[in-house]
Amino acid sequence: MSKTIAGFSKLSKSKKIDWIANTYFANAENTKAVLKQYWNDNEKLQQLHDEFIENTISNYYLPLGVAPNFLINETLYAIPMAIEESSVVAAASKAAKFWLDRGGFKTTVISTTKIGQVHFMFHGDYENLKSFFDTVKQKLITEAKPLTKNMEARGGGILDIELRDKTADIEGYYQLHASFETLDAMGANFINSCLEQFAKTFKNEALLFSGFSEEEKHLEIVMSILSNYVPECLVRAEVGCKVEDLSENKAISGKAFAEKICESCKYCRSRTL
């Protein structure tokens, strides 16, 4: 077993590399040379990379390719792709060229709503919990104002908070289900910060709610976290042309090609693949 180390994060970059090379590699000097050959010659640029994350020892490079001729919403783009898999950029470029003379791609942002939950356990009367939630809901939003004011100034913020009964899945399990508008931002830190504040307010106010029994006042917050399942965060992308223009292959007609696409969609919907 390789030896463990304490205080690794406090070591200098060179000391970290020394430890990694000597602990895990047979040829330490060669390992160090390989790591260093991917450093930027510009020291300030390298320092910027070093400070992105913790315990940086080198840079990880991927080829940066470009797929030109993408006509999207009547605007031409050359799309950059950092990818290690061959043929992807070529395939994308071919698709872009194919649709360029057929109207290009049309896209629409349908919704950017994102969600997160405060998961908690409550063993008591549901009607009491519902009454408490109705009483405290506005305060949950108000006490998160210091976190939401900047997002609200841009047109986003908290959209709604719901109480969800999940006791059919797990005894005593409930959620505060919150929806957010974060516009062009991913909003992960914003959402998690709001959820943590909701949890704090919810727990503190429960202790003061006169409609709870003494036991009901001590609900348990399990976790506060955004969800990566965002069914209301939707965009639509589409292309269209005459059926006879679908195929560039003389061996198959546009109609036959379209029929194959339809059949492929049926296979996917049947979940037999």
Average pLDDT of the chain, as a whole number: 96
pLDDT higher than 60, residue 1: no
Query: Mean pLDDT throughout 190-206?
Result: 98
* Cα(268)–Cα(260) distance, integer angstroms: 12
| pLDDT of 248 | 85
| pLDDT of 205 | 98
pTM over 0.95: no
Helix residue ranges per DSSP H, 178-253: 188-206
| pLDDT of 249 | 83
Of 73-77, 91-95, 256-260, the poorest mean pLDDT is in: 256-260
Residue given tokens 């997160």 in the structure block: 116
pLDDT higher than 90, residue 264: yes
* Cα(56)–Cα(17) distance, integer angstroms: 9
Instruction: List the structure tokens of 239.
Output: 């292309």
| pLDDT of 3 | 86
pLDDT in tens, 36-53: 999 999 999 999 999 999
pLDDT higher than 80, residue 272: no
pLDDT higher than 90, residue 143: yes
The percent of residues above 90 in pLDDT, for the chain, comes to 93
Contact 165, 117 (CB under 8 A): no
Q: Which CATH architecture has domain 110-233?
A: 2-Layer Sandwich (3.30)
* Cα(170)–Cα(120) distance, integer angstroms: 11
What stretch of H or E contains 173?
Answer: strand 173-181
Contact 161, 198 (CB under 8 A): yes
| pLDDT of 265 | 92
Residue 182 dihedral angles phi and psi, to the nearest 5°: -115, 10
Query: Mean pLDDT throughout 67-84?
Result: 98
Instruction: List the structure tokens of 121.
Output: 């356990």
Residue given tokens 């503190």 in the structure block: 204
* Cα(223)–Cα(225) distance, integer angstroms: 6
pLDDT-derived band at 2, boundaries 50, 70, 90: low
Contact 96, 67 (CB under 8 A): yes
Report the Cα 24 to chain-centroid distance in Å: 33
